[in-house]
Amino acid sequence: MKHAIELTINGKCYQIEVEPEERLLDVLRDRLGLIGAKEGCSTGDCGACTVLMNGQAVTSCMILAVAVDGADITTIEGLEKDGEIHPLQKAFIEEGAVQCGYCTPGMILSALALLKENPEPSDDEIRRALAGNLCRCTGYTRIIAAVKAGAERMKNHG
Amino acid sequence: MQFEYFRPQSMNEALRFLADHKKEAMILAGGTDVINGLRTGKQAAKYLVDIGHLADMKGIHPADDGLFIGALAKVRDIERSPLLVDGWRVIAQAAGTLASAQIRNLATIGGNICNASPSADMAPALLVLDSMAEIAGIEERHRVPLDQFFKGPGKTILAPGQILIGFHVGRQLPNTAGYYIKRGVRRAMDCAIVGVAALASTSDGHLSKVRIALGAVAPTPFRAYKAEQFILEQGDLDQTTISKAARIASEACRPIDDVRSRAWYRRRMVEVETNRALGWVAKELKWGEG
């Protein structure tokens, strides 16, 4: 049986009918074409599917869409503002924190959730916040540098 | 993965539905274990009963006898709760060791306990605080000491139709310190190879309470009663007593070989980490410093 749900995604309201077994990740990617969230492990271990739900980082592969009726979701596509990418995204590019890019949307959203709570995190706090996001090519050193640079940029640009 | 989704509007409605569909129904809370179980086919259910929004099972609340932690309290909220200080801090500290930020934002303490993994990080912390689990059925409610709750890997005393409502954690003496150590392959994400929680209270310069609980080294999380008893008999938390108690704790475990660790290593690490956890507690209580 299908269920009617309503989700606010990147500030836009969507009314969707979902099967009970459809995950938030399936709805984002397959129904709405928001393919920024990636499917990696499908078991909540790799963090490639990370999105923000009501401001908090969550693994969208472990969430049934029907169970989060009414939620406010931010995906990587929602960070762009007036045609400009987010200061944190710019920092990832400038610091060379992106290689294949598969982990990047999840990394950036986990980092964004951290920076909203803690605008000046230490290296350890960044590592801890990103512990659920695996990168298999770039390496973590540049990613941590990018989060620090992003924190600076966000302070200056809001 | 195929099931019907049902979202009860109240606890009573949830209990009635579960009573009517006993073995066909599975409870969904945070979902971080259930969704994986259903997707991999390890678990199956005709009905998924989503209790995730039931308000009376949420949050952490002061109570006459201490604290009530709702089964639906998110692990992340427990990690950061301003109520979980002093003797209760070990719960928040253990919560911070569980999985990743993303999982902690979804996972509930009740789910961590009901999943009954031997390595569940919340179990040793709740055990050292003598927590009581509150269980509801269609026509009854009762409390059970948490150390009687686990029956084996993935098995609890919950009967079909029952829901774990939350945990009652008693008030602790002013001089109480507790600490949880998780030894894993990684510092984050992975399950514990060994989990050790230790807690002690002093009053008038005497040891009045000692608790040690172990995870991932037996079919269920459990209290190391003999080691606790030994320390109380010695009445001391000096290094000699701690070392002997740690040895006694390691003799109490029944570890297995698995993908994360060999049994002999687990047993050895119980001794090492119990030593460390008790040492931390002694230091926090300023034991032996006059």
- The CATH number given to whatever domain includes residue B161 is 3.30.465.10
Whether the complex's predicted ipTM is more than 0.95 is answered with: yes
Identify which of A110, A127, A97, A103 has the alpha carbon closest to the alpha carbon of residue A53.
A110
Contact A53 B187 (CB under 8 A): no
Is B251 contained in some domain? yes
Q: How many domains does chain B have?
A: 3
The answer on A137 and A109 residing in a single domain is yes
- The CATH number given to whatever domain includes residue A153 is 1.10.150.120
List, for residues A97-112, the tens digit of each pLDDT value: 999 999 999 999 999 9
Report the C-alpha gap between B176 and B188 in whole angstroms. 27
- The CATH number given to whatever domain includes residue A17 is 3.10.20.30
The answer on B127 and B75 residing in a single domain is yes
Residue B190 at interface with chain A, using a CB cutoff of 8 Å: no
> What are φ and ψ of residue B134, in 5° steps?
-100, 125
3-state secondary structure of B273: helix
- Which of A79, A102, A134 corresponds to the end of one domain? A79
Contact A42 B3 (CB under 8 A): no
In total, the C-beta contacts within 8 angstroms joining chain A to chain B are: 82
- Which of A79, A107, A136 corresponds to the end of one domain? A79
Is B290 contained in some domain? no
B103 to chain A: closest CA residue: A58
Whose structure tokens read 């709760």? B81
Residue B43 at interface with chain A, using a CB cutoff of 8 Å: no
Contact B96, B179 (CB under 8 A): no
The answer on B112 and B26 residing in a single domain is no
Residue type at position A37: A
Q: Compare CB distances from B188 to A3, A59, A131 and report the shortest one's residue.
A: A131
Residue B219 CB contacts under 8 Å (≥ 6 apart), including other chains: B118, B152, B153, B254
More confident residue, A30 or A1: A30
Any idea what DSSP says for residue A101? Answer: -
Provide the residue-wise pLDDT of chain B in tens; the chain has 290 residues. 899 999 999 999 999 999 999 989 999 999 999 999 999 999 999 999 999 999 999 999 999 999 999 999 999 999 999 999 999 999 999 999 999 999 999 999 999 999 999 999 999 999 999 999 999 999 999 999 999 999 999 999 999 999 999 999 999 999 999 999 999 988 888 899 999 999 999 999 999 999 999 999 999 999 999 999 999 999 999 999 999 999 999 999 999 999 999 999 999 999 999 999 999 999 999 998 86
Provide the shortest C-alpha distance from residue B8 to chain A (in Å): 12
Write out the residues of chain A at the interface with chain B, using a CB-CB cutoff of 8 A.
1, 3, 20-21, 23, 42-45, 47, 50, 53, 56-59, 61-64, 66-67, 110, 113-114, 128-129, 131-133
- Which of A47, A79, A111 corresponds to the end of one domain? A79
Containing domain of residue A139, as a range? Answer: 87-157
Chain A residues with beta carbon closer than 8 angstroms to that of B106: 58-59, 62-63
The answer on A130 and A99 residing in a single domain is yes
Helix/strand number for chain B, H first, E second: 10, 14
Contact B36 A43 (CB under 8 A): yes
At B143 the pLDDT is 98
Contact B151, B116 (CB under 8 A): yes
Containing domain of residue B243, as a range? Answer: 176-284
At A158 the pLDDT is 58
Contact B102 A50 (CB under 8 A): yes
Any idea what DSSP says for residue A28? Answer: I
Report the C-alpha gap between A70 and A92 in whole angstroms. 31
Identify which of A109, A72, A59, A136 has the alpha carbon closest to the alpha carbon of residue B99.
A59
Q: How many domains does chain A have?
A: 2
Provide the shortest C-alpha distance from residue A115 to chain B (in Å): 13
Task: Please determine, for residue A155, whether its predicted confidence score (pLDDT) is greater than 80.
Answer: yes
Chain A residues with beta carbon closer than 8 angstroms to that of B100: 44, 47, 59, 131-133
HSE-CB for B135 with a 13 A CA cutoff? 19
Is B289 contained in some domain? no
Contact B50 A67 (CB under 8 A): yes
List, for residues A39-66, the tens digit of each pLDDT value: 999 999 999 999 999 999 999 999 999 9
The answer on B66 and B158 residing in a single domain is yes
Residue B64 at interface with chain A, using a CB cutoff of 8 Å: no
B187 to chain A: closest CA residue: A131
- Which of B14, B34, B50 corresponds to the end of one domain? B50
